[in-house]
Amino acid sequence: MAVVDKEYVPLAAWSNLYVVTSAAAAALVGLLFVVISLASDRRPSSEAKQIRIYLTPVVVYFGSVLLLSAALTFPTQSRLSAALCCCGLGAAGIFYALSLLLGKRRGASFRSRSGILPYSLLPAAAFGLLAAGGAAIDASDPDTGLTLAAVAMLVLLALALRNSWAIAVTVIWPHSGRRANRRE
């Protein structure tokens, strides 16, 4: 039976960050669902796959921040368990973000190459930073590892916010112009 390492992990010093990032991620996911629900009747069903390839990653990235924030606030967190949380989510995130590049096999892909960077490559790099932070928590310095994890969480939050704004504008904007033209 493996022994869990109970060395000190300075998670309490990071608790405010976890509260803020998890609250922001949860609120922004909720707002994204509201925008998509209100605008869903404005888009033809033929565009559902195209919207999904942009929307799903945003929800996954917000959810990753929320999940990691919740996992790192466990009061019984050890150095090993904190490292496993960061490394596990980092590895899963890298796999997911890079799998988006294979979207053509599922019948949907990014409309332009400009979507690849903010929806796939930059999040993969952030998840890589998270995995590196997890490795640092366990191997050398928990403070450095938690700093890397915090930076990764903030990058994911910023990318998801940027991408959700792009989705909201894309879903709503073209239809506003059409209505204005009909009135003229």
What does the pLDDT look like over 79-116, one tens digit per residue? Answer: 899 999 999 999 999 999 998 887 654 555 565 666 78
- The 8-class DSSP code of residue 43 comes to S
| 173 has pLDDT over 80 | no
Of residues 75 and 132, more confidently modeled: 132
123 located within any domain: yes
**Is 72 a member of any domain?**
yes
Position 122 in a domain: yes
**Average of per-residue pLDDT values in the chain:** 80
What pLDDT score was predicted for residue 180?
42
Q: How confident is the model at residue 126 (pLDDT cuts 50, 70, 90)?
A: very high
Who contacts 112 (Cβ-Cβ below 8 Å, separation ≥6)?
none
Is the sign of the CA dihedral 71, 74, 80, 81 positive or negative? negative
Which residues span the domain enclosing 168? 25-37+46-174
Report whether 86 contacts 130 (CB < 8 A). Answer: yes
Domain count, the chain: 1
129 assigned to some structural domain: yes
**Does a structural domain hold residue 161?**
yes
Q: Quick check: is 179 in a domain?
A: no
- With beta carbons less than 8 A apart as the criterion, state whether 158 and 135 touch: no
**CB neighbour list of residue 166: distance below 8 Å, 6 or more residues apart:** 54, 118
58 neighbors 167 (Cβ within 8 angstroms): yes
Residue 5: inside a domain: no
Q: What is the pLDDT of residues 19-63, one digit of tens each?
A: 899 899 998 888 888 877 776 666 666 666 666 777 889 999 999
Residue 3 lies in a domain: no
Taking the C-alpha atoms of residue 144 and residue 133, their distance in angstroms, rounded to an integer, is 7
How confident is the model at residue 47, as a pLDDT?
A: 62
DSSP state letters, 103-159: GGGGT---SSGGGHIIIIIHHHHHHHHHHHHHHHHHHT-HHHHHHHHHHHHHHHHHH
